[in-house]
Amino acid sequence: MSDTSRDDERELVEQARRDPRQFGALYDRHFQQIYRFVYSRVREQTAAEDVTSEIFMKALKAMPRYQDTGRPFAAWLYQIAVNAIADRYRTMRPSQPLDDFHDLSVAGPALEDLAAHRDELRRIWGLVESLPHQQRTALVLKFQEDMKIEDIAVAMGKSPGAVKLLIHRGVSRLRDEADSLRPVE
Amino acid sequence: MNGHHDPELDDVLQDEELRRLATLLTSTMRPEPPLDDAFRSGLRRQLMQQAWDMGEGRPSLWRRIFAPPGLAWVGATAGLVLIAGLVVFYSTQQPGGLQQVVVQSPIDGSRAVALQQAILVNFNQAMDHPSTEAAVQISPATTVTYSWSSNTLAVQPASGILAPNTQYQVTIGSGAKTASGQSLSAAQTITFVTQPPAPPTPSPSPTPRAPATPSSLLTGEHQLAPLGGALATSTVQWSADSSTVYFVNSKGALDAVQAKGGDVSVVAPDGVSSAAIAPAGDRLAYIRGGRIEILTFAAGTTAELTATPAPTLVGWAKDKVIWAAADGVYSQAADGPARLAAMPTNGALKILSLAPDGTHAVYLQDLNLFLLDLTTAKSTQLGQANAAFFGWSPDGSQLMYSGTAGNIAIADVQGDSVGTVPTADASWSSQDAILLGSETDLYQAHPDGSNMTKLANGTYRLPIWAPNATAFTFFRGGLLWTASAPALPAVPSVLDQATTAVNTFMLARQKGQADPAAALLDSNGKQAYASGGLNLIINGDPFFSRFYVLTQAVTGTQPDAATFVVRLVLTHGKLDVADFEETLTVVRNPTTRQFLIDQATVGAHRDLGKGAEVVGVVAAADSVQVTFDSDLDPGTVADSMRVLDSKGRQLDATTSYANRTVTISGLGLKPGAQYKLVVLTTLRDVLGHNIAAEYDLQLVAPVAKTKADHKSGGVTASPAPASPSASPSPTASPS
**Taking a C-beta distance cutoff of 8 angstroms, is the pair B77, B471 a contact?**
no
pLDDT, mean of residues B666-695 = 87
pLDDT, mean of residues B469-474 = 93
Residues B54 and B174 in one domain: yes
Parts of chain A with a pLDDT under 50 = 91, 93-101, 103-112, 180-185
- Choose the mutation target among A45, A99, A146, A165 for the interface with B, i.e. most B CBs under 10 Å: A45
Determine the Cα–Cα distance for residues A71 and B682; give it in Å rounded to an integer: 63
- Choose the mutation target among B43, B104, B448 for the interface with A, i.e. most A CBs under 10 Å: B43
Is B710 inside a domain boundary?
A: yes
Give pLDDT tens digits for B87-141: 444 444 444 445 678 888 888 888 888 888 788 898 988 999 999 998 898 989 8
Determine the Cα–Cα distance for residues B690 and B681; give it in Å rounded to an integer: 6
Q: How many domains does chain B have?
A: 4
Chain A residues near residue B30 by CB distance under 8 angstroms: 36, 40, 101-103, 144
Determine the Cα–Cα distance for residues B46 and B320; give it in Å rounded to an integer: 45
CA A30 to chain centre: 12
Determine the Cα–Cα distance for residues B161 and B660; give it in Å rounded to an integer: 10
Determine the Cα–Cα distance for residues B621 and B631; give it in Å rounded to an integer: 26
B40 contacts A143? CB cut-off 8 A: no
Residues B503 and B633 in one domain: yes
pLDDT value at residue B4: 62
ipTM, two decimals, is 0.85
Give pLDDT tens digits for A24-34: 889 989 999 99
Spell out the domains of chain A, with CATH numbers in brackets.
3-88 (1.10.1740.10), 102-177 (1.10.10.10)
Residues B260 and B316 in one domain: yes
Give pLDDT tens digits for B210-249: 333 445 889 889 988 877 555 555 578 999 999 999 998 8
Whether B69 shows a pLDDT value over 90: the answer reads no
Whether A159 and chain B come into contact, CB under 8 Å, resolves to no
Residues B224 and B323 in one domain: yes
| Contact partners, residue B429, CB within 8 Å, separation at least 6 | B394, B435, B465, B469, B472
Residues B335 and B408 in one domain: yes
Least Cα distance to A64 among A138, A14, A6, A12 occurs for A14
Chain B residues near residue A181 by CB distance under 8 angstroms: 21
DSSP one-letter code for A96: S
- Choose the mutation target among B26, B35, B488 for the interface with A, i.e. most A CBs under 10 Å: B35
pLDDT, mean of residues B633-662 = 91
**Taking a C-beta distance cutoff of 8 angstroms, is the pair B131, B80 a contact?**
no
Residues B692 and B720 in one domain: yes
Q: Residue B636 belongs to a domain with what CATH number?
A: 2.60.40.1220
Final residue in a domain of this structure, among B159, B177, B193: B193
β B575-588/B595-602 pair status: antiparallel
Whether B34 and chain A come into contact, CB under 8 Å, resolves to yes
A128 contacts B28? CB cut-off 8 A: no
**What is chain B's length?**
735
Whether A39 and chain B come into contact, CB under 8 Å, resolves to yes
CA distance A103 to chain B (A): 5
| Contact partners, residue B145, CB within 8 Å, separation at least 6 | B155, B156, B158, B477, B478
CA distance A154 to chain B (A): 16
Give pLDDT tens digits for B153-180: 988 888 888 999 899 989 898 889 999 8
Final residue in a domain of this structure, among B149, B178, B193: B193
Whether B192 shows a pLDDT value over 50: the answer reads yes
Count CB-CB contacts under 10 A for residue B406: 9
B21 contacts A184? CB cut-off 8 A: no
Is B208 inside a domain boundary?
A: no
Residues B181 and B257 in one domain: no
Residues B609 and B717 in one domain: yes
Q: Measured over all CA atoms, what is the biggest interatomic distance in chain A, rounded to whole angstroms? A: 57
Residues B295 and B385 in one domain: yes
Is B84 inside a domain boundary?
A: no
Chain A residues near residue B35 by CB distance under 8 angstroms: 32, 35
DSSP one-letter code for B704: P
Instruction: Return the minimum-mean-pLDDT range out of B164-168, B246-250, B289-293, B670-674.
Output: B670-674
Mapped onto helix, strand or coil, the DSSP state of residue A153 is helix
Is B132 inside a domain boundary?
A: yes
CA distance B53 to chain A (A): 9
Residues B128 and B228 in one domain: no
Confidence of residue B618 (pLDDT cuts 50, 70, 90): confident
Going through B2-52 in order, the beta strands assigned E by DSSP cover none
Is B641 inside a domain boundary?
A: yes
Residue type, B325: A
Q: Residue B278 belongs to a domain with what CATH number?
A: 2.130.10.10
Is B588 inside a domain boundary?
A: yes
Least Cα distance to B311 among B335, B334, B294 occurs for B294
Expressed as residue numbers, the domain containing B137 is 38-58+98-193
Whether A119 and chain B come into contact, CB under 8 Å, resolves to no
CA distance A178 to chain B (A): 10
Is B200 inside a domain boundary?
A: no
Chain A residues near residue B31 by CB distance under 8 angstroms: 101, 103
Whether A143 and chain B come into contact, CB under 8 Å, resolves to yes
Beta bridge partners of B122: B104, B152
Whether B322 shows a pLDDT value over 60: the answer reads yes
Residue B54 has its nearest CB partner, among A20, A31, A148, at A20
Q: Residue B123 belongs to a domain with what CATH number?
A: 2.60.40.3710
Is B471 inside a domain boundary?
A: no
Residues B392 and B525 in one domain: no
Residues B138 and B242 in one domain: no
A178 contacts B30? CB cut-off 8 A: no
Is pLDDT larger for residue B643 or for residue B672?
B643
Whether B491 shows a pLDDT value over 50: the answer reads no
pLDDT value at residue B518: 93
Count CB-CB contacts under 10 A for residue B315: 26
Rounded to 10°, the helix B16-26/A111-129 angle is 100
Average predicted confidence (pLDDT) for chain B = 81
Q: What is the pTM of this model?
A: 0.42
pLDDT value at residue A35: 92
